[in-house]
Amino acid sequence: MYSQVKIFVIGALAMVGVVVFATNAMAANEPFCHNYAGTAVAQYQQMVNSGKQCQGFRWHNWYNGHYKWCRKVSQQTAQSEAIIRANTVQNWGAC
């Protein structure tokens, strides 16, 4: 029974390692996320300056919040969010 527990623990630790590695491998890189966060804050400011009171997870001037979120998601996910925000700014759409 002890050997079965040992095998289970080793297997579980191996799976955790795979998940952690896969998550880190998929996360957007630092330079991309610095650019993403700077652009997000600038776009928020553009909307505020135009009279739009945009609020929520997409619309705020907290650079570090945008940066940390970007580092937790894939670059593709962050790019999708950036495109949505850019289209809203370009078309002066609803926030």
Using a cut of 0.75, tell me whether the model's pTM lies above it.
no
Cα–Cα distances in Å, from 71 out to 26, 57, 78, 91? 9, 15, 9, 28
- Determine the pLDDT at residue 18: 41
Per-residue model confidence as pLDDT tens digits over 31-77: 999 999 999 999 999 999 999 888 889 999 999 999 999 999 999 99
What average pLDDT does the chain have?
82
